[in-house]
Amino acid sequence: MRKTRALAAAGAAVAVLGVAAPVAVADGGRVANPSNIVAQPGVIARGGQLTITVDGCPHGGHATSNAFQRTNLTPVNNRNDIARGNDTARGTATIDDNARPGPYDITVHCSGRSLTRPAAFTVIGGVRGGIGGSSTTGATSTDMAIGGSLVAAAVAGSGFFWMRRRAEKRI
């Protein structure tokens, strides 16, 4: 009975090592785990560009969010990062024009593993630059009434002034 248990435990250990070995060999003998997701800037308007940096992602991967389309992450391997075992990947995402204001999560997929950072960045409402912040096109009926009354007052005032100057010339 003892031999059967020992044999079963050894078989389970070999199976676990057999599954983990290809991943460890693929990443130079260590298992890559994505960590430290950084999104810059932390507050961004719709249509803006967001830079995503992830540590522990030596072969790149991709990032997803509800605020932007799937974005590829490319490795940024310099000698200092490799020596420390801290392989970094980076990508640039464009925030959708129809993204609603509020906080958004980012999920990163690297080397068959995933990591999610909740509330990684915040989308703010866009600015309507160049049109004074108005949200309508053309003049409203109120605008027409105000403009018409100002024009009428200007015509009446000009007529009154002209008639008075004309009367002074006769004397």
pLDDT in tens, 93-120: 999 999 999 999 999 999 899 999 999 9
**pLDDT computed for residue 142 by the predictor:** 86
CB-CB contact of 75 with 57 (8 Å): yes
Say if residue 34's pLDDT is above 80.
Answer: yes
Choose the most confident range, by mean pLDDT, from 80-89, 98-107, 137-146, 158-167: 98-107
Bigger pLDDT: 79 or 24?
A: 79
Rg (CA), the chain: 34
Q: What is the pLDDT of residues 45-87, one digit of tens each?
A: 999 999 999 998 888 999 999 999 999 999 987 555 444 556 8
Choose the most confident range, by mean pLDDT, from 84-98, 124-138, 155-169: 84-98
Element containing residue 122 per DSSP (H, E): strand 113-124
Give residue for tokens 């960045």.
121
pTM of the model: 0.55
Say if residue 43's pLDDT is above 90.
Answer: yes
Buried b (16+ CB within 10 A) or exposed e, 32-62: bebeebbbeeeebebebebebbbbbbbebbb
Identify the band that residue 30 occupies on the pLDDT scale cut at 50, 70 and 90: low
